[in-house]
Amino acid sequence: MVGIGPGDIALLTQQALAALGDCEVVIGYKTYTRLIGNLVNDKKVISLDMHDEIKRAKLAIKKASQGKDVCVISGGDAGIYGMAGLILELLNKEEKDRIKIEFIPGIPAVSACASLLGAPLMHDFVVISLSDLLTDKELIEKRVRLGCQADFIIVFYNPKSKKRRLLFERIWQILMKYKSSHTPVGIVQNAYRDNEKVEITNLKDMLNSKIIDMSTTIIVGNTKTYVKGKFMITPRGYNLARGKNRRSFTR
């Protein structure tokens, strides 16, 4: 199980590069296999469409059961919205005992996008996918409400697609209810890939962005987040802590 990071080959880990170099078969979503194409030209590459996750997983298990060295690739990290959990779920007892599985971490989208925005994740945050294919809309809305009430920085994956727009607008309404309309919002499309775009706006104007789709990650700040120049910053509180220590010492 190999996490290939956000897309730029330079951000692949050395461990991931070694695994891709040693394997015989590479299986993944076609967008991801295309991103690493030059690295696996000498391999058997099996590229499948979105929503073929179960097919990918079963095929990987079958190939590994036949003695093949298989890399199943996921964008970002395989254990974060990736293929790792599904393959573990599908393994039967015999396959579990026979197949050796290794998990190779990758840079997740949340980290990649944050690096392009500055330092928006310096304090507690939550990550929520707005895809309702596998999660009920009501549960997604509940998680957003609770995240707002706890003043978390909120990171959104899969904000909207051509067919799925209403939930995103509903989530924006929830954010506007619990957060200031001036809350900084970072929007990153295609992080570390071709056609990368980065915007910093505020919650009130977030819906006006033209770059929000399934390849976009959105970071909504907390009550302390602010914009300085071209960067978003969420203070960790070091200056405040230093001040408290100083006052304690002078007593």
Residue 16 pLDDT exceeds 50: yes
Give the pair of three-digit tokens for residue 220: 């909504």
With contact defined as beta carbons under 8 Å apart, do 31 and 194 qualify?
no
pLDDT at 15: 97
pLDDT at 248: 42
pLDDT in tens, 56-109: 999 999 999 999 999 999 999 999 999 999 999 999 998 989 999 999 999 999
* Confidence band, pLDDT 50/70/90 cuts, at residue 250: very low
pLDDT in tens, 195-227: 999 999 999 999 999 999 999 999 999 999 999
pLDDT in tens, 106-165: 999 999 999 999 999 999 999 999 999 999 999 999 999 999 999 999 999 999 988 888
pLDDT at 245: 53
pTM exceeds 0.85, yes or no: yes
